[in-house]
Amino acid sequence: MMESDEWLYGLDLSELIIPVDLLRGVVVCRPPLNEECATLREWRFNYDIETLGAPASDETRRRATHYLDVQIAEGNAWVAVENDRPVSLSSFNATLPDIVQLGGMNHHQASNRLHSECYYLSCWNLHDPNNKLRMWYRYAPYGVAVQSEYGRLKAAIARFLDDVHLGKVRYRDEDMTGHNSLQILFTKGIDYAWENETMRSRRCSRAGRISSITDFQSRTT
């Protein structure tokens, strides 16, 4: 989430290096089509939540939809398309006769991977009497098993100041375009379904500057 002023950078079009895939026609940049608008509105909604810190509410969705629809109607929104599927969205935030400000850039899956670096994860194996030792044989043959309960784990993480999400991991193989950061974090390939995990994720704005678990603040400190 943006928590400070952003630097603006200028680029003269004569110095623009066009990506090879655009030159070859592998990727096409064009205005959005009507049938793509639902997907792009969802991207904009998630962008406002994850980047601008807006609440995940009906009002945020309404504003995101209106904002994008106006940009499209004014010819200020653009999509990059690969294999007939939108993979990126950008727009002109401001325009003058000889200059534009490019903003609202959203390469959805790439931005989600970037946001994922702001999360700390802890995975717990749900007890299965028919499969209770496989995780330790696979990942920690000389480790120690810690047993707890869902309610106790949930109560323990409630003390943290940062947002903490607790939920069951989904196991599936699918295209994740359109998924938000948490959906991506809580999804693993079908080959790992035997792990049967519950995951907790914690978002920290200081990610990259945390050196140990004692650096985290809690509601009791």
User: What is the distance between the alpha carbons of residues 93 and 80, in angstroms, rounded to a whole number?
Assistant: 17
pLDDT score for 71: 92
Q: What pLDDT, on a 0 to 100 scale, did the predictor assign at position 79?
A: 92
Which has the closest alpha carbon to 221: 163, 162, 153, 165?
162
pLDDT attached to residue 58: 94
13-106 maps to CATH 3.40.50.1220: no
For 83-87, which contacts have Cβ atoms below 8 Å and span 24 or more sequence positions?
Answer: 85/177, 86/32, 86/36, 86/39, 86/40, 87/27, 87/177
Show the beta-strand stretches assigned E in 10-132: 27-30, 77-82, 85-96, 99-106, 119-125
Average pLDDT of the residues of the chain: 77
DSSP calls for 136-184 = HHHH-TT-------HHHHHHHHTTBSS-EEEEEPEE-----TT--HHHH
- Could you tell me the pLDDT band of residue 74, with boundaries at 50, 70 and 90? very high
The domain limits of the chain are 13-106, 115-215
What are the tens digits of pLDDT across the range 139-148?
888 877 788 8
Q: Which residue has the tokens 């509410």?
A: 57
**What confidence tens digit (pLDDT) does each residue in 8-17 have?**
667 888 888 8
pLDDT above 70: residue 209? no
CB contact at 8 A, 161 and 94: no
pLDDT at 96 > cutoff 70: yes
**For 9-45, what is each residue's pLDDT tens digit?**
678 888 888 888 889 999 899 999 999 999 999 989 9
